[in-house]
Chains A and B, each alone.
Chain A
Amino acid sequence: MSVIAYREALNQAMSEEMERDERVFLMGEEVAEYDGAYKVSQGMLARFGPRRIIDTPISEEGFCGMGIGAAMVGLRPIVEFMTFSFSLVAIDQIVNNAANMRYMSGGQFAVPIVFRGSSGMAGCLAATHSHRLEAWYAHIPGLTVVMPATPADAKGLLKSAIRSDDPVIFIEHEVLYGDKGEVPDGEHLVPIGKAEIKRAGSDVTLITYSRSLKATMAAAETLAGEGIDAEVIDIRTIRPLDLDTLLESVGKTHRAVIVEEDWPYCGLGAGISDRIMQKAFDELDAPIRRVTTKDAPIPYNRALEASMLPSVDRVVAQVRDVMYSRL
């Protein structure tokens, strides 16, 4: 066990997998000589050389497509987006080619590729640079979507993603890169498709992922002070969803609040809420509530941006709402 930052955990995962498997390489803008726009690939060029750590031009559609092609014939590319906001330029490649290839070819072609990079509302980056695209990608059958919230999960999930034989959308968060936490040394694999209970509780289930885990955990502490015992679940994998863990928790608490950094309408929480409702409607003592980013493009002004995000107060308010029977 050592205490390292989220970005170092990602670096470890990639480096270990590259040591382990010659077919794995990293490609993207500024990943090599610049050591990564967010320094995730720091030192990797020196360690693995320019054959395997490859700086690309600003040609997302081109290099994503190249990665997919290389994966079809046996390589295992890691393609870095400086941020997932720029994956919009390459979305045809990801959605039409990466996601569909296995199916369209009747199982003849696999696309073992990882698309990874930062995302989210990082502070004053405004409308074009603050996208949260997890719901977009989670919408697509054929893709696996992963969003780690902690350094340990960053490492363990990335290693699993690189070993996956299907395309994985691995979404990091810009404001988490510097976060430190305990990470097991060496072979540490976190299975894809498994949620984690971050805080056990009996009164209400708080469902979240990525950066929003922090506000949710803080809200749980506040609620504890009010005598409300919240269970916090980090879903970690967005697709496929670990529904069993959610159902088990809701079966115990009978209430759920979903906290996400994405927009509300047709958002991830809507999909999660629907799946819980399909299976556990009779278990629920209150409607499932959601805390999301407000429904507007992301503004530059700092205070305005902050006002849109799920905050501790907004989470607490929704929990009080679903706890009406107890207050």
Chain B
Amino acid sequence: MSQATTEAKPVVSKNQAVGWLRQMLLIRRFEEQSYKLYQMGGKIGGFCHLYSGQEPVAVGSIGVLREDDYVITAYRDHGHALARGMGANEAMAELLGRYTGCSKGKGGSMHFFDAEKGFLGGHAIVGSHIPLAAGVAFASKYQNKDSVCICYFGDGAMNQGSLHEAFNMASLWKLPVIYVVENNMMSMGTQLHRHSCLMDLTVRCGTAYGIPGYSIDANDIELVATTTRECAARARAGEGPSFIEMKTYRYRGHSMSDPAKYRTKEELEDAKARDPIVAYEHILKDRGWIDDEAIERMHDEIKAEVEESIKFAEESEQTPPEALYQDVTVAHHIPQE
């Protein structure tokens, strides 16, 4: 439905565009350094799902939202948190299980939160945050506010009942929520055609519920932005939810332990050849908004920023033993032991 494309005409100001490039580069660098820290053993534990390749989804969509809007996502959450303005320090400290982390070292990679930024998590049970988003939108409507909630999930999550229950109510009650499926064509090791009865996701998740559906190439960050903007405007006007299929690609395995045998080297190389960050660098250069020197400076700054976050995390205090019983309930937690 949405016609705008990055090539056609800029839909953002120069400052905003350069900011988006910077954010995408930050996420890429953050993820690749996290990968290294994880591989070094011991520093990052548990499940860790990286966002490399999917950056324009979070950056382009969160980039057109307001401060009083809400963002919620699944466990592949580092990119959304950083795009929403979480500091690399708090993010890295969380991965290293430190008290200075965004969830005090209790949530880990899959459970990032930042209330101040309207970032409602990081949710690790597939599909379980999708009704939460409808609830957040309900609260906005209930209070006569025009804040919207944007909710991200993977193609695999379309198969959870929670999505279908929430979509019906969101549409029935015209709730201001934007649902974004990050279609990387892969639910862990199961390709889309092996887990979805239809390939046209707008039919499955839009048409079926009377929700306007879009299907876009998410490598085009400005198309991501314009589409999201349109959906946000509809939500603010009281016209209800939208569904956007953002076609994207993840470079790394599903999580750290995934050898990714379900795809060929060529497929991955192909995707990397169309890297959305490199593409955006070219576009901004063509517009004369940035030059090689500035790009190089940006890379250096980001490198330093991520280095600093690792240093910050490593020098931070481990989550202390007494934290075990903190934040269980608002009242002093009485262990039932």
Inter-chain contacts of A304 with B (CB < 8 A):
97, 105-106, 319, 321, 323-324
Partner-binding segment picked from B63-71, B122-130, B215-223: B122-130
Indicate if the CB atoms of A301 and B336 lie closer than 8 Å. no
Does A273 interact with chain B (Cβ within 8 Å)?
no
C-alpha spacing A296/B162, complex, angstroms: 27
Indicate if the CB atoms of B46 and A295 lie closer than 8 Å. no
Inter-chain contacts of B323 with A (CB < 8 A):
299, 301, 304
Residue interface bits A145-179, CB-to-B below 8 A is 1, else 0: 00000000000000000000000000000000000
Indicate if the CB atoms of B105 and A301 lie closer than 8 Å. yes
Contact A126-B108, Cβ < 8 Å, known A57-B159, A264-B336, A302-B97: yes
Residue tally, chain A, CB below 8 Å to B: 39
Partner of A58, one of B106, B159, B333: B159
Partner-binding segment picked from B83-91, B140-148, B183-191, B287-295: B183-191
Does B328 interact with chain A (Cβ within 8 Å)?
yes
Partner of B190, one of A57, A294, A296, A308: A57
Partner of B161, one of A59, A86, A300: A59
Inter-chain contacts of B94 with A (CB < 8 A):
300
Does B45 interact with chain A (Cβ within 8 Å)?
yes
Indicate if the CB atoms of B190 and A129 lie closer than 8 Å. no
Indicate if the CB atoms of B124 and A299 lie closer than 8 Å. no
Inter-chain contacts of A128 with B (CB < 8 A):
110-111, 123-125
Indicate if the CB atoms of B324 and A296 lie closer than 8 Å. yes
Contact A29-B108, Cβ < 8 Å, known A123-B45, A299-B319, A304-B323: no
Does A317 interact with chain B (Cβ within 8 Å)?
no
C-alpha spacing A262/B157, complex, angstroms: 29
Does A278 interact with chain B (Cβ within 8 Å)?
no
Does A327 interact with chain B (Cβ within 8 Å)?
no
Residue interface bits A48-85, CB-to-B below 8 A is 1, else 0: 00000001011101100000000000000000000001
Contact A294-B108, Cβ < 8 Å, known A34-B189, A126-B124: no
Q: In the complex, which residues 274-327 of chain A have their Cβ closer than 8 Å to any Cβ of chain B?
A: 292, 294-297, 299-304, 307-308
Whose C-beta in chain B lies nearest to the C-beta of A130?
B46
Contact A292-B187, Cβ < 8 Å, known A126-B107, A128-B110: no
Does A3 interact with chain B (Cβ within 8 Å)?
no
Partner of A61, one of B157, B161, B261: B161
C-alpha spacing A55/B157, complex, angstroms: 15
Residue tally, chain B, CB below 8 Å to A: 46
Does B286 interact with chain A (Cβ within 8 Å)?
no
Partner of A55, one of B124, B127, B190, B335: B190
Contact A300-B156, Cβ < 8 Å, known A124-B97, A124-B108, A264-B336: no
Does B160 interact with chain A (Cβ within 8 Å)?
yes
Partner of B47, one of A88, A129, A302, A303: A129
**In the assembled complex, how far is the CB of residue B317 from the closest CB belonging to chain A, in whole angstroms?**
11
Whose C-beta in chain A lies nearest to the C-beta of B108?
A300
Whose C-beta in chain A lies nearest to the C-beta of B94?
A300
Inter-chain contacts of A200 with B (CB < 8 A):
none
Inter-chain contacts of B97 with A (CB < 8 A):
124, 300-304
Partner of B325, one of A29, A58, A124, A296: A296
Does A33 interact with chain B (Cβ within 8 Å)?
yes
Inter-chain contacts of A265 with B (CB < 8 A):
336-337
Partner of A123, one of B46, B194, B321: B46
C-alpha spacing A179/B34, complex, angstroms: 29
Indicate if the CB atoms of A295 and B337 lie closer than 8 Å. yes
C-alpha spacing A30/B188, complex, angstroms: 8
Indicate if the CB atoms of B110 and A85 lie closer than 8 Å. no
Most chain B CB within 10 A, of A58, A122, A294, A295, is at: A58
C-alpha spacing A34/B194, complex, angstroms: 13
C-alpha spacing A126/B97, complex, angstroms: 11
Indicate if the CB atoms of A125 and B47 lie closer than 8 Å. yes
C-alpha spacing A57/B204, complex, angstroms: 15
C-alpha spacing A125/B45, complex, angstroms: 8
Indicate if the CB atoms of A300 and B160 lie closer than 8 Å. no
**In the assembled complex, how far is the CB of residue A158 from the closest CB belonging to chain B, in whole angstroms?**
24
C-alpha spacing A62/B335, complex, angstroms: 36
C-alpha spacing A300/B318, complex, angstroms: 11
Indicate if the CB atoms of B125 and A29 lie closer than 8 Å. no
Does A127 interact with chain B (Cβ within 8 Å)?
yes
Contact A58-B126, Cβ < 8 Å, known A127-B111, A129-B47: yes
Does A89 interact with chain B (Cβ within 8 Å)?
yes
Inter-chain contacts of A55 with B (CB < 8 A):
190, 194-195
Contact A57-B111, Cβ < 8 Å, known A85-B125, A300-B105: no
Whose C-beta in chain B lies nearest to the C-beta of A298?
B106
Partner of B319, one of A33, A88, A301: A301
Residue interface bits A209-227, CB-to-B below 8 A is 1, else 0: 0000000000000000000
Does B5 interact with chain A (Cβ within 8 Å)?
no
Partner of A296, one of B188, B318, B328: B328
Whose C-beta in chain B lies nearest to the C-beta of A88?
B125
Indicate if the CB atoms of A307 and B324 lie closer than 8 Å. yes
- What are 13 A-B contacts defined by CB distance under 8 Å? A33-B194, A57-B195, A58-B159, A58-B187, A59-B161, A62-B159, A89-B162, A125-B47, A129-B46, A129-B124, A297-B106, A300-B46, A304-B321
Q: Which residues of A contact B (CB under 8 A)?
A: 29-30, 33-34, 37, 55, 57-59, 61-62, 85-86, 88-89, 122-129, 263-265, 292, 294-297, 299-304, 307-308
Additional 5 contacts, C-beta under 8 A, given A29-B188, A58-B127: A55-B190, A126-B110, A294-B325, A299-B106, A300-B109
